[in-house]
Chains A and B, each alone.
Chain A
């Protein structure tokens, strides 16, 4: 199977299992799943939930005690303020862990090997680090096509609030 075919198949899977992907348009960070290290009782989880609800762009939250993760879904036509997520967890007294996101935007080449995910609304960009050959090929493809894409992956937030994303999948985004 070629890389292009892989993308088409995975797009179909993502499309089928994530119906909200077509319900929220133009958002940059549609969904954020963050590990809340140290959260070990329901009463503490509520404190985390209260702080995360105040993060700009958050529409709904679900917390899973066993995995120790909180999943935030963006409000309609909104983007989750990503730097606000670990800050909210710290303010609730716990430690933020890995942050996984589902993001939309367009892909642009930044330099010889680099890419940027650009928000369609704000034109702000986040550097992308391609973690493998297939995802690299996909980013090249989407940067040439110029269309909206949807990425899943892990993000790193710098001390200056800068966001770097390591995408795991890249699909064509269809409203």
Chain B
């Protein structure tokens, strides 16, 4: 087989499947798959580590490809002021693409592209046991990940690299309504990707909603009891097609809608949570590889 054929096969598989799952992650008692407008106290910090397992085997083409990605985003949030919070996100990645029709496996691991995000609470309304907030945010993703990794078959295709090699920019806004019984978050964001190594990931638009319902304790006692939330999240994601050498890749991009049921256990200092993100609709271009599921397990600590 030629290296070009192999690269093409991998690219087709990864193009949409990977890029869909690196949205901004939250550090609050909040959505599991995206951010929230809840505050970070001035001068205080929150740390979160998450483990995501992404599995894609729905190959519409003849290559019989399977993709497995493990992502560990480490997130540090810091309250600069009561309204301004900064988030630093550094992912550690492991990607493996198996092309069964060719008996080939290519993989990589390492630190991915780091994101710095600034979120500003533009409006809030606080009442006893209830808050409503709107917070726009901007982010920049720096090319900290390796984007020229090689294996025995040569340089890995760009989507299989740990990093994109490009500076990418995100803009968006989050709405949060939280009461003692439930929380609803909604986020809209747009990510502008730039070109690097003659490759440009397609821009990405996300519309996400999260519902968290306190299921335990049924009635609140005195003090600060731990809460258990049942969580249901919806992620609607549209990716434009990638560009290779200035030409649009017809086997990339598309629209996906995911639902993620989950559970959260929230104490004063920590949050332990798990969710499974499942595809409902995947309207992908060409032979882009479809996602089977994404498993998410995460832990947050207030320090």
Contact = CB atoms under 8 A, between A and B. Distances in A.
Interface stretch (B38-46, B54-62, B104-112, B166-174): B38-46
Interface string A17-51: 00000000000000000010111111111111111
A58 interface: no
A37 B44 contact: no
A42 B42 CA distance: 17
Interface stretch (A7-15, A93-101, A114-122): A93-101
Contacts of B40: 47, 93
Contact of A68 (B28, B39, B129, B227): B129
A43 B29 contact: yes
B224 interface: yes
A67 B221 CA distance: 10
A117 B124 CA distance: 36
Interface stretch (B138-146, B176-184, B276-284): B176-184
B292 interface: no
B266 interface: yes
A41 B29 contact: yes
Interface residues of A, number: 30
Contact of B79 (A49, A68, A93): A93
Nearest to A66: B220
A45 B266 CA distance: 11
Interface size class of B (residues with CB under 8 A): 35 or more
B226 A42 contact: yes
A66 B39 CA distance: 19
A50 B301 CA distance: 13
A114 B51 CA distance: 64
Nearest to A54: B43
A48 B302 CA distance: 11
Contacts of B121: 93
Given A51-B42, A51-B44, A93-B40, A42 B124 contact: no
Q: Which of B38, B83, B126, B127 has the most CB of A within 10 A?
A: B126
B178 A41 contact: yes
Contacts of B224: 42, 45-46, 63-65
A92 interface: yes
Contacts of B223: 62-65
Interface of A: 35, 37-51, 62-68, 90-95, 97
Q: Sorted from nearest, which 9 A-B pairs have the closest CB atoms?
A: A93-B39, A38-B126, A38-B131, A47-B41, A95-B126, A43-B29, A37-B126, A92-B41, A91-B42
18 contacts: A37-B128, A37-B131, A40-B129, A40-B179, A42-B227, A42-B268, A44-B29, A46-B268, A63-B224, A66-B220, A67-B128, A68-B129, A91-B82, A93-B39, A93-B41, A93-B79, A93-B82, A97-B128
